[in-house]
Amino acid sequence: MNSDPFSDVLKYTDATPVVTGGFSAGGTWGIRFPQPDKIKFFALLKGDCWLAIDGEDRAVRVEAGDVLLLSTPRTFVLASDLSAVPIDAAALFAGNITKTATLGDGADCIQIGGHVRLDPVSGSLLSDMLPPLIHVRAASPQATVLHWLIDQLVREREAELPGANLSSTNLAQLIFVQILRTHLETSDTLAAGWLRAVGDKRLAPALRLMHGEPHRHWHLEELAKACAMSRTTFAHYFKSVAGDAPLTYLTNWRMCLAERALRDDNVPISTLAQSLGYTSESAFSNAFKRIVGNSPKRYQTLVKASEKTSRDFTHD
């Protein structure tokens, strides 16, 4: 199978969607959710409501079948009526192992939701590229696949079949990927960056080459030829979409891979340098320090110290 740059980045950021629960509501109701420390997603299975995000001038109308992803770290309210006094979500779900709740008779509105955990260090590569809100409306063509996935998710959770937890996790992953695909396909305001680049069909051949063999000494002519462009046209177009020149993008991706390896693998720096296409440890170290801000050894020391502090804090 060809290299898949989008999957590479999701793997690098350790993006892990988890279904956490939901609620059903009836009558007049409102719920205030705290400032999230993770990306949130939810689907409205029945009814309609308002979404009001703190700091936004206008509330968003949410209807049955809509799917939303919130990446902004701001409090928000879901309500049948924005004039209703919202109850605190933490209090509503406290002590409930299933993380589900019912307001009123629960007959008017049903919601299911979750969050996406990201690596605390590398996760910013994804979160920094996302808008505060992605709203996939039920009537949009892209919602068809999402509706099928969410229906399957609901069935898995309700039937409590063997393997339901694993199946739900995999379905949540597919839902998250489909939301991002929809964003790439429909947004006309994507900022230049890797997310816009991986969704660009004209650049796909070059990105697959670079991600497939990041250690190779790629030349601009080779990458341009793969995209059926002249060298000049390719270089200009690539930078306008990705925000970096092609070979700068390649170097940055190599450093992403290096950071992850230095955190997770006990690999000698000389071996890591060779695996990423550098002829010497010093050449790799210079490139790493220029982009990351610390030498590989210093970076590794700082990461291990941070992890130890985190473990000690948890144990205390």
Residue pLDDT, tens place only, 283-316: 999 999 999 999 999 998 888 777 666 555 545 5
pLDDT, residue 311, reads: 56
Specify the pLDDT at position 1: 47
Residues composing the chain: 316
Position of tokens 């049955």?
A: 64
pLDDT at 288: 97
The whole-angstrom separation of Cα 260 and Cα 141 is 37
Predicted pLDDT at 170 = 94
SS3 187: coil
Q: What is the DSSP letter of 151?
A: H
Spatial distance between the Cα atoms of 93 and 311, rounded to a whole number of angstroms: 28
What's residue 312's pLDDT? 56
**Cβ atoms of residues 127 and 194 within 8 Å:** no
In the prediction, which pLDDT does 120 show?
A: 87
Read off the pLDDT of residues 140-191 as tens digits, 9 standing for 90 and up: 999 999 999 999 999 988 888 889 889 999 999 999 999 999 999 998 888 9
Q: How far apart are CA 164 and CA 175, in angstroms?
A: 16
Per-residue pLDDT of the chain (316 residues; tens, 9 = 90+): 468 999 999 999 999 999 988 999 999 999 999 999 999 999 999 999 999 999 999 999 999 999 999 999 999 999 999 999 999 999 998 877 778 899 999 999 999 999 999 998 899 999 999 999 999 999 999 999 999 999 999 998 888 888 988 999 999 999 999 999 999 999 888 899 999 999 999 999 999 999 999 999 999 999 999 999 999 999 999 999 999 999 999 999 999 999 999 988 888 999 999 999 999 999 999 999 999 999 999 998 888 777 666 555 545 5
- For the chain, the average pLDDT equals 92
pTM score, whole prediction: 0.90
Beta strands 87-88 and 30-33 are: parallel
- The residue among 1, 15, 2, 6 whose CA lies nearest residue 253 is 6
